[in-house]
Amino acid sequence: MGQEYQVIYEEEIGEIERILNRLVKNSHAKCALLVDKDGHLITRLGFTQSLDTTALAALLAGSFASTKEIARLVGEPEFSVLFHQGKKDHIHVCLAGERSILAVIFDDRTTLGLVRLYAKEISEELATVLASATKKKRDKGTQMDSDFSASLESKLDDIFSEGEPKPTKPSNLNG
């Protein structure tokens, strides 16, 4: 079975960024990143200038993948939330939909409880937006398949009818 890719259109990115902005503002976090499970950065918001967000996205996805295997070993289907505590910065990581990971980086200006509260709420909103993007992709794919089939059928008709005489209109012999 082939790999399913996540396609997100510009209007969804705008909606995702509005949602992440609310998360950063309400939780007093430094920044938030949305990453797909393959390690690609979808978008980021907040103070990310000093971060290598590409490397961070890949490492977050790898961390989540290894934690999924740990969960399996202890009899859990998946751990949906991870927390890393540092001396000054901390990272809260959770699932947002089936194929995305939300990471919130924060410091001691806020609390883990506040970040968890908003991250849970926001991850559910993001899951809805991402599911909508997946449905839109499927719908567009179905329309493109239909358009392609109609175009192909027309071209095949043209090709295979080249050698045959074209139907002509009956001529009016009486006048």
Domains and CATH numbers, the chain: 10-137 (3.30.450.30)
Beta bridge partners of 32: 45, 104
Q: Greatest CA span in the chain, whole angstroms?
A: 100
CB atoms within 10 A of CB 129: 22
Q: Where are the beta strands (DSSP E) in 47-143?
A: 81-85, 89-95, 100-107
CB atoms within 10 A of CB 114: 14
pLDDT tens column, 125-171: 999 998 887 666 555 555 555 666 667 677 767 776 665 555 555 55
Q: Are 114 and 28 in contact (CB under 8 A)?
A: yes
Could you report the per-residue pLDDT of 66-89, keeping only the tens digit for each? 999 999 999 999 888 999 999 999
Tens digit of each residue's pLDDT (9 = 90 or more) over 101-113:
999 999 999 999 9
